[in-house]
Chains A and B, each alone.
Chain A
Amino acid sequence: KAGVTQTPRYLIKTRGQQVTLSCSPISGHRSVSWYQQTPGQGLQFLFEYFSETQRNKGNFPGRFSGRQFSNSRSEMNVSTLELGDSALYLCASSWAPGGRMNTEAFFGQGTRLTVV
């Protein structure tokens, strides 16, 4: 079956702009989590959605937001971009929410965002 699809793969934006990233989970998976990966910080949890509801949220400013649609596809939005937002953004899908079930979580290839 098709894996987790993230679009776009690469993105260059200017400070102050806003950006929307997309994640299509594996068919049948209803949970989508988003992570930010930066050198030296590892994978930082952004938020998790299940059945269109945000279940958990990490320690990120309100400029970072997300949503999930009825078909389980998810988007994350970053407004007023800062240079420090440059990172690899990864989404993971699983059939159920919660970290424990992430043994069955599958990650997408990520979106590389560069803010200039």
Chain B
Amino acid sequence: DQQVKQNSPSLSVQEGRISILNCDYTNSMFDYFLWYKKYPAEGPTFLISISSIKDKNEDGRFTVFLNKSAKHLSLHIVPSQPGDSAVYFCAATSGANNLFFGTGTRLTVIP
């Protein structure tokens, strides 16, 4: 049972435009959410996180939005750069439990 879902396997965006990656979850106990970025032949690297007490967290070009009532979060990248091309995973957790990951979205930023 996939508790964290990323329904878009891929996304293509023009350089300079906004990239929006979406993630849905089913477990209402999740209270902490993270985004990881993964390049080929490398392990995932942490990008940004958000606690359930917030609805927005911003770090430079990256902003994560959380809509608890819809059990939905999104990652906005503005402006998108070719170096952002990677697979993005969202993850969720509660308490001291392990992370539950989504299936990933492959972002391609076209120069």
Contact = CB atoms under 8 A, between A and B. Distances in A.
Interface of A: 4, 33, 35, 40-45, 48, 56, 58, 90, 92, 97-100, 102-110
B89 A43 contact: yes
B100 interface: yes
Q: Is the interface of A mostly helix, strand, loop or mixed?
A: mixed
Interface of B: 2, 4, 6, 32, 34, 41-46, 49, 89, 91-104
A100 B93 contact: yes
A66 to B, nearest CB: 13
A103 B98 contact: no
A97 B89 contact: no
B102 to A, nearest CB: 5
A1 B4 CA distance: 33
A104 B46 CA distance: 8
B49 A103 contact: yes
Nearest to A43: B101
Nearest to A112: B41
B8 to A, nearest CB: 13
A76 B103 CA distance: 23
A104 B97 CA distance: 15
